Structure 1
Amino acid sequence: MFGDLTGIMGKLKETQKKIEETKKRLDSVLIDESSSDGLLKITITANRQIKAVDIAPSLFEDREQLEDYLVITLNKAIEKATKVNEAELASVAKDGMPNIPGMDMFK
């Protein structure tokens, strides 16, 4: 019984370490998103940290339009980054989970 528990705890610690390593790696995964006309470009990490914003000079002429572009494009970039982040972390967690009867929540 305790041998199994020790093995499970070791596996969980190993999985936690892999999750932390994956989180660090996701800091270097860059996701680019652009407005439909290409006037605004956003680069964000898979951990949802904004790395770059490129704004066409014509957008500075209309503050309301620029704000709309920023909201829409940032939300799209964050959505993409969140999907990548969640997929990567779920994959690591699923692979690292010990086989505990009745705990098949990752299937």
Structure 2
Amino acid sequence: MFGDMMGMMNKLKEAQEKVEATKKRLSFVMVDEQSSDGLLKITITANREVKNVSIDDELLKDKEQLEDYMVLTMNKAIEKATKIHEAEIGAAAKDGMPDIPGMNDMLK
């Protein structure tokens, strides 16, 4: 029993290490999003850190329009990055988890 417990603890530690490594890797995964007309482009990491914002001069003429574009485009970029982040972290965590009876049913 003690050996099984130590094995599970080691597996949990490995899972935690895989998740941390995945988080670091996601800092280098870039997600690009742009407005429907291409006047605003945003690049963020899969960890949801903004890396670049490109604004066409045409948008600089209308502050309210620029603000609307920023909100819409940023939210789309964050949504994409979040999906990638959750899928990658979830896969890393599940891959490293010890085989605990009934655990797979709880994770569904």
Q: TM-score, normalised by structure 2?
A: 0.97
Partner of 2:96: 96
Deviation at 1:103, TM superposition (A): 1.4
Partner of 1:11: 11
Partner of 1:78: 78
- CA distance in structure 1 between the aligned counterparts of 2:28 and 2:50, rounded to whole angstroms: 12
More helix by share: 2
Question: Structure 1: any 5+ residue segments left out of the alignment?
Answer: none
Q: TM-score, normalised by structure 1?
A: 0.98
The share of aligned pairs that are identical, in percent, is 67
The total of aligned residue pairs comes to 107
- CA distance in structure 1 between the aligned counterparts of 2:64 and 2:95, rounded to whole angstroms: 47
- CA distance in structure 2 between the aligned counterparts of 1:89 and 1:24, rounded to whole angstroms: 11
Partner of 1:106: 107
| Pairing 1:31-50 to 2, within 5 Å after superposition | 31-50=31-50
Q: CA RMSD for the aligned pairs?
A: 0.7
